[in-house]
Structure 1
């Protein structure tokens, strides 16, 4: 059985309806996976593929999408099935055609994200690990947010970078020492988070409903999602007006926690893309250390 035949079989089994590909086109799937839109003349699906050992990554993505589908104001693609052959792993998703964002859709995205963050858990983390891009993301539960951010986010990134960037690890150790001071008194609820909310992971469907996808789900400080939206751009003033109007920013976000939470993604990008991001991360760390 070829890989495409295996994907046809998996879709047929998952949906209870025979599926035979008569249209296959490449789609944008990011830097990590190959992506295709598959159709049979009546239905279309979005399929991402990778090496067979990446099946766990796709299973975690599917679980994250299911978790996000608790939100009512946002559209989240339905995961159809995850499977693997000897040659590749794949995830099959509901296909959602995207349209160009409008001011109204960005407003609705801000409102929808605020609603998503209102879904809370008793502890920070999640019941399974997943990935941020291709890198492992550790989600062991913690009652204390500072402990979670230190152990599950910053420390693991710094340890991974230490062999190639010892100066980053050295500055990181200094930052970890003052982290309790930087987050002193900050006790956020454990909100349901997208986890990787940059402009490429959000859009609008053809009915104008905001769509989010490609998550790195966990429960934690809602401000982490907002901080990432401000790091790489792609979100309009209408989005922020709607979000902060529904859930105003707390004191210390812009000066302390925004750069602290963006740092996590700069460190991840340093692991993926190298020295420019490492230098940027060092600047942020030293600015935070000076504030502490």
Structure 2
């Protein structure tokens, strides 16, 4: 398998690459990760079952589209496909470390969020959030997109997994439109899964990776940064100076993070179900 991947890297880069060392990497709960090394170069490679190749293809296309904006640093995808019994994606190796410039991250993320789509909300193909399918059918209305392809879809999956909530779906859905009175978001390029584990710094330069890319309300990215501990206050202050947020964000962020809480229940179960129920009650008050 590794020889096949090395050959594909060689063809993609037009420079011979042979694997002399494999360094396993930790940190992921969905895929296996390894650094492939020869005498001169390194590449970051993720692998999974061969059936997951479409997931890696969507990730590669998303990474390339984000990279092409030249707004924030993204690991450039090199190649992807199936080798042996595994699907894989190989990308640029970036050595993380050094100072953390949260002000620069905020300004560069705001610049990426200014990239818009004329096709509405969604994306050119389906991708994944973790390993859960993420539906990106182009939709002209943001609230309709969110109710059908984000909140509604995750609720359906959660119920199949045993999730129950004392508040009926109709009441949940009816609570959403009032959050968007006097607010009409533009379809911004969003990372889609922007928690602290998908952000790093390379000698001060911010890098974001593992996207669940689509065009949506930019507030979804800001909301998720607050879900698992939050970023430093400097980040939020700098972002708001670069691209001011609407006052209603403080209410909508709870709705946006419900999507990720439900997804975590669908992926991992456990206490995320109770957290989802509490979040739904908060939204419906």
Q: Secondary structure at the match of 1:231?
A: coil
**Higher fraction of helix:** 1
Alpha-carbon distance between aligned partners in 2 of 1:106 and 1:38, rounded to the nearest angstrom: 30
Residue 277 (structure 2) pairs with residue 286 (structure 1):
no
Residue 10 (structure 2) pairs with residue 4 (structure 1):
no
| 1:171–1:285 contact (8 Å) kept in structure 2 | no
The Cα of 1:166 is off from its aligned counterpart by 4.7
Q: Which residue number in structure 2 is paired with residue 150 of structure 1?
A: 147
Please, which runs of 5 or more residues in structure 2 have no aligned partner? Answer: none
Residue correspondence of structure 1 range 96-245 to structure 2 within 5 A: 96-102=94-100, 105-122=101-118, 123-168=120-165, 171-206=168-203, 208-245=204-241
Q: Which residue number in structure 2 is paired with residue 267 of structure 1?
A: 262
Q: Tell me the TM-score normalised to structure 1 length.
A: 0.93
| 2:161–2:266 contact (8 Å) kept in structure 1 | no
The Cα of 1:172 is off from its aligned counterpart by 3.6
Alpha-carbon distance between aligned partners in 2 of 1:73 and 1:128, rounded to the nearest angstrom: 22
| 2:163–2:273 contact (8 Å) kept in structure 1 | no
The Cα of 1:88 is off from its aligned counterpart by 0.3
| 1:71–1:115 contact (8 Å) kept in structure 2 | no
Which segment is superposed worse, 231-240 or 263-272? 231-240
Q: Secondary structure at the match of 2:176?
A: helix
Alpha-carbon distance between aligned partners in 2 of 1:100 and 1:27, rounded to the nearest angstrom: 19
Q: Secondary structure at the match of 1:69?
A: helix
Alpha-carbon spacing, 1:166–1:266, altered in 2? closer, same or farther (3 Å): closer
Q: CA RMSD in A?
A: 1.5
The Cα of 1:14 is off from its aligned counterpart by 1.0
The Cα of 1:167 is off from its aligned counterpart by 1.9
| 1:73–1:115 contact (8 Å) kept in structure 2 | yes
Which segment is superposed worse, 42-51 or 28-37? 28-37
Q: Secondary structure at the match of 2:164?
A: helix
Q: Which residue number in structure 2 is paired with residue 48 of structure 1?
A: 46
Q: Which residue number in structure 1 is paired with residue 272 of structure 2?
A: 277
Alpha-carbon spacing, 1:101–1:158, altered in 2? closer, same or farther (3 Å): farther
The Cα of 1:162 is off from its aligned counterpart by 1.0
The Cα of 1:36 is off from its aligned counterpart by 0.6
The Cα of 1:114 is off from its aligned counterpart by 0.5
Q: Which residue number in structure 2 is paired with residue 31 of structure 1?
A: 29
The Cα of 1:210 is off from its aligned counterpart by 0.7
